[in-house]
């Protein structure tokens, strides 16, 4: 069904590891568990940066227990979900759009910082709707000081939308009072201007949220 899972995070984790980043740094930046990162990068050559050797500390037992539980719940989740049926994939995509998609009539727009969610949305959109690929547009929201070219190349790969269809990015000025961490690739906005497609999606959203769809 084209859903890439966490392939994008795995590739990014391997790139970061090759530059000398620690497992903890990679896990914090990507928003995943340290144990997952450890599995993804175990065959990547690693040379610690000099200043890192002085700050290595033994992990607290409670922190290790937390990571172990997260990993166990990830495995349990994979077992419970399994491979989605066509109907389940459709419904899950509708639910994702209900939470993260634009509701204004005439424009299908989905924004997210999570490449897994964006990849899922793209696969879902292309599978269930007649999409004119040339009309897909992508725009990046990225903080000043971060690599715009790398961010656009990253999201182009995730969305399979060529860079020629990317709009002018929005560069946010750094504001320490708002947040201390930033997504290295920013937030991607994928849009498709088609009133019929948007209305079809919103019809599915309303059907999904109706009382008739809720198990008795």
160 in the same domain as 93: yes
115 in the same domain as 58: no
In terms of pLDDT, which residue wins out, 50 or 29? 29
144 in the same domain as 43: no
101 in the same domain as 52: no
In a domain, 119, yes or no: yes
97 in the same domain as 75: no
Instruction: Please provide the distance, in angstroms rounded to a whole number, between the alpha carbons at the two ends of the chain.
Output: 29
176 in the same domain as 111: yes
91 in the same domain as 74: no
Provide the domain count of the chain. 2
Q: Which domain range does residue 199 map to?
A: 86-213
In a domain, 172, yes or no: yes
Among 38, 62, 81, where does a domain finish?
81
206 in the same domain as 130: yes
Q: How many CA atoms lie within 13 A of 95 on its CB side?
A: 9
The two three-digit tokens of residue 16, written as one number: 């970061």
E strand map for 84-203: 107-112, 136-143, 170-172, 187-193
What mean pLDDT do residues 104-116 have?
A: 94
95 in the same domain as 36: no
pLDDT tens for 177-216 read 555 556 889 999 999 999 999 999 999 999 999 978 788 7
56 in the same domain as 142: no
In a domain, 1, yes or no: no
Residue 66 has pLDDT above 60, yes or no: yes
Residue 47 has pLDDT above 50, yes or no: yes
In a domain, 53, yes or no: yes
Among 81, 99, 121, where does a domain finish?
81
In a domain, 2, yes or no: no
Model pLDDT, residue 4: 47
Mean pLDDT score of the chain, rounded to an integer? 86
DSSP string, 107-131: EEEEEES-HHHHHHHHHHHHHHS--
Model pLDDT, residue 122: 97
134 in the same domain as 56: no
Sheet with 187-193: list strands edge to edge. 107-112, 187-193, 136-143, 170-172
């Amino acid at each position: 069904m084209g859903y890439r899972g966490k392939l994008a995070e795995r590739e990014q984790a391997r790139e970061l590891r090759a530059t000398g980043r620690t497992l903890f740094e990679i896990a914090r930046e990507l928003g995943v568990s340290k144990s997952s990162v450890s599995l993804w990068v175990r065959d990547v050559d690693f040379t610690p940066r000099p200043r890192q050797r002085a700050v290595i500390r033994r992990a607290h037992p409670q922190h290790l227990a937390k990571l172990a539980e997260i990993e166990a719940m990830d495995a349990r989740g994979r077992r419970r979900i399994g491979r989605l049926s066509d109907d389940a994939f459709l419904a899950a995509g509708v639910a994702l759009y209900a939470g993260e998609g634009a509701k204004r009539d005439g424009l299908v727009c989905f924004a997210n910082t999570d490449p897994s969610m964006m990849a899922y949305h793209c696969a879902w959109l292309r599978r269930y709707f007649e999409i004119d690929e040339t009309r897909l547009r992508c725009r990046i929201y990225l903080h000043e000081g971060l690599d715009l070219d790398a961010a656009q190349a990253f999201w182009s790969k995730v969305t399979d939308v060529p860079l020629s269809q990317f709009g002018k990015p929005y560069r946010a000025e750094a504001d320490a009072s708002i947040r201390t961490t930033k997504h290295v690739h920013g937030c991607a906005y994928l849009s498709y201007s088609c009133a019929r497609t948007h209305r079809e999606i919103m019809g599915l959203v309303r059907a999904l949220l109706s009382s008739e769809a809720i198990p008795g």
